[in-house]
Structure formats: C-alpha cells, structure tokens
C-alpha cells in the first residue's frame, strides 16, 4: 500500500485576500468559530449581529463590534457577511445582507424550506455577489482525494455508495440543554436530515446528480425531540448508481464514514482518522492506495479552508466551482432533504 500524506499543516496566518470588513450574523458556536477564524485570517473590521436569544457561552474577542439591529449593522458597509443564525432565519438574513451589497457565506443547510430562495438568487446574480453555502466537508483532504480517484476512473463504473453518520446530540454542546439547540427544534429548521445533510451534498459533489429518493425517518432516540432523530435515505443517481445515507442523533461513540463501490474496486473514507483508502482490481491484480490528511490536521481546518476559499473568490483569485458549494448546489441539497422528508411521510419514491 502506498500512503499519501501531506506535510505539517502550516499555522493559520493572515491572507492578503481577506476582505476589509466582515459581519457575522449569529453568535452561536458556528458564528463564533467563523469569527475567530476570520480574525486569524486577517480581517481587520469584524462585527457581530446577535439577538441574545442563543446560548453561546463564548466571549467575543476585543475590538469586535456587537450590533443588535441588523439593518443598522448592514448600513455600516460590511464587504461580506457570514450567515450563522438558526436555519429557519438563513434566507431572510441573507436576503437583507445581499440587498446591502454583501458577499455571502451561508451556513448549511441553506434553509429549512424553499421559500425566498428565488428572490435570494435573483439578488445575488443582479449584484454579482459571491455566495457560498457552508458544506465544509468538500474541503476535507480525504474526500478531495476520493474525488480525484473518481475523476480518474480508479474503480470504474460506480455501482453504489453508503454514507453513515451517527452522533449523540447531547454531546455536541455539553454546556447547554440540547433541546434548546436549532438541531433539536422544528421551528428553527432542525432535524437530523437537515442538520447532518453533509453526506447529501458531498455525494452529489462526488457522484453527480440525484434524481429520486425514498426514505424512512423515526423518532427513536428517547431525547424528547419534535424532529426526526433518525433517517435512512435511499438515493438514485442520474448515472444509475444507488446510494444510501444513514443518519441519527443517537450513536455513541460517533461514527461518520463513506464507502463507494465500483466495478473495479472500492473506496473508503473514515472521518475518525480522515484517511481515504482505495482498493482497485485490474484482472487478478489488486492495487491499494491510501491518502491521509496532514499531520496537524484538525476539524477546524475544514472551516478555515472554506473561509479562505470564500475570501479568495471575493478577491477574484478563485472560482467558486470545484470545492466551494454554490447557492444552487445548496438549494439542490435542500431539495433532496425535503424530498426525503416527503418520501418518508408518503411512503413512496419522490423525484427531485
């Protein structure tokens, strides 16, 4: 087996292409992470809009302006905005920011419903804004290597794919009541299908369009939630390949992995160590390969890579296509999740 491993990951340092000013809309755990990363990447003028309704326990860095009125915050002329408030508020907030001329990084999922997305897309296109959805697993070096193998036909025609992600919801933010989090509340756009929708996005990114879905959802966690806490989604790809995504808020220890089967081999990726593994067969010969992340790689690197890419797109140095998730891609991931919910309710396959 040939192991492919990057060198030591460099320390986070300012980037020349960082915008002068950035507004973070929402100061929960995701917003706070983006705030610290933007500061480390060299954004000089950082502002946060917060209502105080969330349960963030983190103090904001010094010299960060705090706003409690979104219209006033946007009137100060931020170059870009990160939308990191609850899912149900994403589109409304993004539309306000777009009308103020802000480039947009919108946390995943794009929304909990399709309402307002056509207006948002129209505003983005009319103003020629950079707009990206925060499906940061596209920036995982292991999954990027999986994509490279697939693009080079390493395992031939794809037959099937299976993504599995289970993680115990109360462990996500142990300092707070899990029932108050957006992930646990229907009115905030929660539920396991939307909250853990990364595999839906990265399977499209890796394998192409998904055209039909069927699904089963359940509330079996005993966590007293008003949203689905387990889901099994069957995917039919335009290519003819079949896929399964299995999600839950229950499993301990957490597990997140991917298997892709082709006519000439199999690709596996496991989030626990980040390693992508390839076993390919040519006639009677087996060829194996593995790709590990850099030694200093950690989860935050996904977010810093995503934010750096967003800044680079704003500066005109990088195209959004490829790694970044566009608004259109985010909308399609949402359509698939909503189709899965409907398929589970109606007990039938749904075309996307």
What's the residue count for the chain? 352
pLDDT at position 54 is: 59
Strands in 8-73 per DSSP E: 21-25, 45-49, 65-67
Which domains are assigned to the chain? 8-134 (3.40.50.720), 137-351 (3.30.360.10)
158: β partners: 262
Residue 97's nearest CA partner among 128, 126, 70 is 70
Global pTM reads 0.93
Contact indicator for 245, 203 with CB cutoff of 8 Å: yes
Report the alpha-carbon distance of residue 256 to residue 229 in Å, rounded. Answer: 16
Helix axes 117-127, 90-99, angle to 10 degrees: 20
Adjacency order of strands within the sheet including 80-83: 65-67, 45-49, 21-25, 80-83, 103-107, 131-134, 325-326
- Please list, in sequence order, all residues whose beta carbon lies within 8 angstroms of the beta carbon of residue 183, skipping any fewer than 6 positions away: 169, 172, 190, 191, 192, 195, 227, 249
Share of the chain above pLDDT 70, in %: 92
257: β partners: 164, 270
The answer to which of 52-66, 223-237, 275-289, 298-312 has the lowest mean pLDDT is: 52-66
- Please list, in sequence order, all residues whose beta carbon lies within 8 angstroms of the beta carbon of residue 199, skipping any fewer than 6 positions away: 163, 165, 245, 247, 258
pLDDT single digits (tens) 38-97:
999 999 999 999 987 655 556 788 789 899 999 999 999 999 999 999 999 999 999 999
pLDDT single digits (tens) 155-212:
999 999 999 999 999 999 999 999 999 999 999 999 999 999 999 999 999 999 999 9
Q: What is the mean pLDDT of the chain?
A: 92
Residue 117's nearest CA partner among 325, 327, 320 is 327
């Amino acid at each position: 087996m040939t192991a492919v491993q990057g060198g030591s990951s460099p320390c986070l340092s300012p980037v020349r292409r960082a915008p002068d000013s950035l507004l973070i809309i929402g100061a929960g755990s995701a917003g706070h992470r983006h705030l610290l990363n933007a500061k480390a990447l060299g954004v000089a003028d950082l502002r946060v809009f917060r209502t105080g309704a969330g349960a963030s326990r983190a103090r904001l860095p010094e010299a960060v302006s705090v706003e409690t009125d979104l219209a006033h915050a946007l009137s100060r002329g931020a170059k870009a905005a990160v939308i990191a408030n609850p899912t149900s508020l994403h589109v409304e907030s993004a539309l306000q920011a777009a009308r103020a001329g802000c480039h947009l990084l919108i946390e995943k999922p794009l929304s909990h419903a399709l309402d307002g997305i056509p207006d948002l897309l129209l505003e983005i296109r009319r103003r020629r804004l950079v707009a990206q959805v925060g499906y940061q697993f596209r920036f995982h070096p292991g999954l990027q290597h999986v994509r490279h193998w697939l693009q080079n036909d390493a395992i031939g025609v794809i037959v099937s794919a299976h993504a599995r992600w289970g993680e115990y919801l109360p462990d996500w933010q142990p300092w707070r009541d899990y029932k108050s989090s957006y992930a646990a509340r229907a009115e905030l756009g929660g539920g396991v299908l939307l909250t853990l929708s990364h595999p839906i996005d990265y399977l499209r990114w890796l394998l192409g369009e998904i055209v039909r879905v069927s699904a089963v959802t359940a509330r079996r966690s005993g966590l007293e939630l008003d949203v689905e806490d387990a889901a099994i989604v069957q995917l039919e790809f335009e290519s003819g390949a079949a896929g399964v995504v299995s999600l839950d808020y229950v499993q301990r220890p957490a597990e997140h992995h991917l298997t892709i089967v082709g006519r000439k081999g199999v690709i596996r990726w496991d989030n626990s160590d980040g390693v992508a593994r390839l076993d390919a067969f040519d006639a009677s010969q087996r060829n194996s390969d593995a790709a590990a992340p850099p030694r200093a790689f950690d989860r935050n690197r996904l977010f810093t890579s995503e934010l750096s890419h967003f800044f680079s797109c704003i500066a005109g140095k990088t195209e959004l296509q490829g790694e970044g998730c566009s608004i259109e891609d985010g909308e399609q991931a949402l359509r698939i999740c909503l189709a899965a919910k409907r398929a589970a309710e109606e007990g039938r396959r749904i075309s996307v």
